[in-house]
Amino acid sequence: MSFDKLKGKMTEAHVSQAKMSEYLGITVQSLNAKLNGRTQFTLEEAVKITDFLMLNDPIDIFFRPSVPKMQRNKPDKTQT
């Protein structure tokens, strides 16, 4: 998850943690823990945030695109 991107989107939309936590029905402390990676957002919260901030590409924020090491392209040692 990209916490910095989510925080940036909140800043762009002028949405405070207090306002977002009220919308989600959680405490500011709970939201802060989620924004700082100490706890995880639920799927329902991710959907609500997407709607509230009108995010075009929530996948980019809520899911970290990664490829396991074993699936990454390895340079072909025969081509030098």
**Which H, E and C letters describe the chain, residue by residue?**
CCHHHHHHHHHHCCCCHHHHHHHHCCCHHHHHHHHCCCCCCCHHHHHHHHHHHCCCCHHHHHCCCCCCHHHCCCCCCCCC
How would you write the pLDDT of the chain (80 residues) with one tens digit per residue?
778 899 999 999 999 999 999 999 999 999 999 999 899 999 999 999 999 999 988 888 887 665 555 555 555 565 55
Residue 69 lies in a domain: no
Domain count, the chain: 1
Question: Which structural domain range is residue 50 located in?
Answer: 3-56
Residue 38 lies in a domain: yes
Residue 36 lies in a domain: yes
Q: What's the pTM?
A: 0.73
CATH number of the domain within which 14 lies: 1.10.260
